[in-house]
Amino acid sequence: MQVINDKLKVWATDLDQKTMLQAQRTARLPIVAGHVALMPDAHLGLGATVGSVVPTEGAVIPACVGVDIGCGMAAVRTDLTSEDLPNDLTPLLGKIADVVPAGVGRGHDRRHWRAQKRAADWLETNRPRSELSDRQDKKAYEQMGTLGSGNHFAEVSLDEDGTVWLVLHSGSRGIGNQLAQSHIAEAKSVAKRFEIGLEDPDLAYLLEGTPEFDHYIADLLFAQAYARANRETMLDAALRELFRFIGKGRERERVNCHHNYTEQEMHFGNEIWVTRKGAISARSGQLGIIPGSMGTDTYIVAGLGNPESYMSSAHGAGRRMSRTQAKKTLSVESLEAAMGDRAWLGDKAAKLVDEHPDAYKDINEVMRLSADLVKVRHRLQAVLNYKGT
């Protein structure tokens, strides 16, 4: 860990100047309580740096949480082993795709009836503060139990003992995005109205005790809960297909963690808001998930409760190339080589080049830099990868 100054501490070594300057702008905000912590996977984001932990007092920055509120990881350890798996998992890839629709707003009518019922039941008792339009209400219902696109994925993996795991990455989908966008715009409006000087408009914050703050927090808690329920719904659907495909199987352990969220916590004797934008909570003994990328490993970890990171850790490999740069620089052929003999959507490789492993930082280096943040419990190697395009 490197101390840049009393307002910024950094665990990352692969940082460009723009990312460092962005983090320093965030750290200079008057609402920051203590120092901003940059995780080993930190990279340039919108407003606030992805891979940052931002402690604030009496205020929250909506753009720091981001537009995919509650995005995170979930994993299940099963009682299956590598010996239970057939050599060809391609048929299983199709079955998972059937019950976990992916892509931007497509295929949602293909959800299993159990997912549809869970969505209806959950939304009956969980509502945001914002009044949803009929279209938004429909979106919230239809997208629960769906993966999305971008870097969201589902994988069947093997740990160091050959135990089979199911792992997935997703968030609060379209409804979380729309709620977040409205509150980011509201925060900017408040900053302009009260002439709050900001180095970056995307760092606009909402003050505790105001109606705007209360409204945002209520919607935020809804979206975070939606994201968690979404991951649970997909895990259950994919597990059923996995066990049916193998002909047996039981769940042994489940982990579900956010990496884009905020909550009130006690640190250094004070109650503050801790926003993790691309970071996971890593209290002592707390289980978490740190994925790499397509073609690389995922780690199941236990937190070490490091106070200097606000008991946090990295959330993944972190991008080192923008999507545009990856598409210009990397090839379909090299992606196919990186994926090896995994079952994956090879016929859609041209649409997945921006998710190429080389577009991300080295997950093994990220884990090395996280040695004082987490302890590795399991290292997972994917044998099946499913993503939205």
- Burial of residue 168 (CB within 10 Å: 0-12, 13-18, 19+) is buried
Task: Report the chain (389 residues): mean pLDDT per 10 consecutive residues.
Answer: 96 94 97 97 93 98 97 98 97 95 68 85 96 95 93 97 98 97 97 93 97 98 98 96 98 98 97 98 98 95 98 96 95 96 96 96 97 98 94
Domain membership of residue 328 (yes or no) is no
Domain span holding position 157: 2-289+365-387
Question: Active site residue: 152, 169, 315, 378, which one?
Answer: 315
Q: What total of structural domains would you count in the chain?
A: 1
* 206-251 confidence digits (pLDDT tens): 999 999 999 999 999 999 999 999 999 999 999 999 999 999 999 9
Measuring CA to CA, which residue among 207, 242, 224, 228 is closest to residue 91?
Answer: 242
Domain membership of residue 203 (yes or no) is yes
* 338-361 confidence digits (pLDDT tens): 999 999 999 999 999 999 999 999
Domain membership of residue 242 (yes or no) is yes
Domain membership of residue 341 (yes or no) is no
* 129-163 confidence digits (pLDDT tens): 999 999 999 999 999 999 999 899 999 999 999 99
The crossing angle, in degrees rounded to 10, of helices 113-125 and 134-143 is 130
Domain membership of residue 298 (yes or no) is no
Measuring CA to CA, which residue among 120, 84, 233 is closest to residue 168?
Answer: 233
Active site residue 315: yes
As given in the structure block, the two tokens for residue 323 are: 């999507």
Domain membership of residue 75 (yes or no) is yes
Domain membership of residue 137 (yes or no) is yes
Domain membership of residue 267 (yes or no) is yes
Give the domain CATH number at 245: 3.90.1860.10
